Structure 1
Amino acid sequence: MRGLRVAIRAELLKSRHSALPWLGLGMPVLDLVLALLMSLLMPAGPGTEVMVGEIWNWWGSILQPALLALLAVTVMGEDTRQRLRSLLLLPRDPGLAFIAKTVVVLLWSAVSNLSVFLLASVLPGMLSLEGTPLQAGFAVFMLNLATSAWLIPLGLLGTAAVGPIFGMTLPFFLEYAGSMAWDSPIWWLVPSASSLTTTAPVLGVLPNGLPMRAESPLEVFGEQSALSLVISVGLFLALTVLGSRWFSKRETV
């Protein structure tokens, strides 16, 4: 465990001088700007309830997967350019470096999701505007963090094994494709749709941004939503273990 703590600390120190803070904090601000623009363009005119709905919709469908892909490429990019020599020559298991990178990106994902929660729930309340209720907003924050986590080891492993372009496009493509499958009969088996399908009953908004329909399978967070959450978390753990073992078997070139 000490080796893992050292690896995590090293990655955190490296992140101070990278684009991670700009990405982690800048993407939620971009989300707010896009939501505000959408609310102004709505035929009914500006409305805080529309803007809040768009904040979560833009975040779960496009900005969050794009952010995680960029974070993964940023964290792994320098080591990839050096053919992983900077990691493989260290006097510890290289697999710990992969786990440490996964943890660091997950921490920045938490910071970003927390920022969206503050923009959608806390800030409107402070300004006496209509926003997502605090409990619902916090639930969406936790669900988004858990259901999207599997994109992190996938992006890191894709970047290290193939290259930055592959590591960035594969997770984003899978997440975007999954967002199109939310209304299929087996939506709960598609991890890339989980961020939208598990939060839909909490927000009362369908993944396409429309109000929740009566008798929709997404109307209530039931067994299928719970299974979708479990599958996403299980995939995150499996990909993290796979990436760690792949790193452990690498040799310097």
Structure 2
Amino acid sequence: MKVLLRKFLGIVLLVSISPFALAQEAPLGPLTSFTEFTIKPGQSMQFREGIKAWKECYLKNGGEWTWRMWERQQGEGTVFVLASSMPNWAEMDKTDESGKDCQLLAINMINAHVEKAISHTTRLMPEISNNNPFDGKIIRVGFYRTNIENGYKMMETVKEVEEIRKNAGLSIDGYWYNWLTADPDSPSAHYVIGYENYAEMDIQRESVWQSVENAAGKEKRDELQSKFRSTLENSWSYIYRFDEEISHLGSN
């Protein structure tokens, strides 16, 4: 998250390093800072109006920072996720003067409707992700928390799976992210697949494991599937909808 949001929305980034971070020889992708806002019951409309007011103020003052706001579609309560990319950690040292005049808007019109806010930083893993820029209005996100015994094997397995699929002429559909900060309830990694709309989710596609079986045989599929599952402590998934009105992609 940019320094301005940490200042004006009262968010503090957690800095505990994931024990499952990739080795340094892996190509480094961009960072994504995100904040998950749990909204007080019945106050999501007020929260959105606060974000809109803050956005208007920020852009009026020449602000150039860009972000995407997503609303979670399932699970307990109303949850919004603000995500913003940055090329490296050095971006955290920069200040953004454009938001100073908007501080009171954040305090009075946003923070008052937030029950809880949790911030973290992740890094894209380009070697096992789609090479095209992300563009989707609906996303399905799978979260994976690895265990102590075999957690380090998870990305090994994913890389082997994608290598098999690549050799079979198949493309990588989504984007893998490694978590660089974590709390006791955080995942170790997550995987994002984007869709233009909900109707696109009805299209039946060959599963990853089926594609591995078709390319390398059932024995190899069973071996890799068992290895992957042995790395997990828990896994879960949610669908999120892009909220363009309270996002800023730099086009306006």
TM-score (norm 1): 0.27
Q: Which has the higher strand share?
A: 2
Tell me: higher relative CO, structure 1 or 2? Use CA pairs within 8 A at least 6 residues apart.
2
Q: Which has the higher helix share?
A: 1
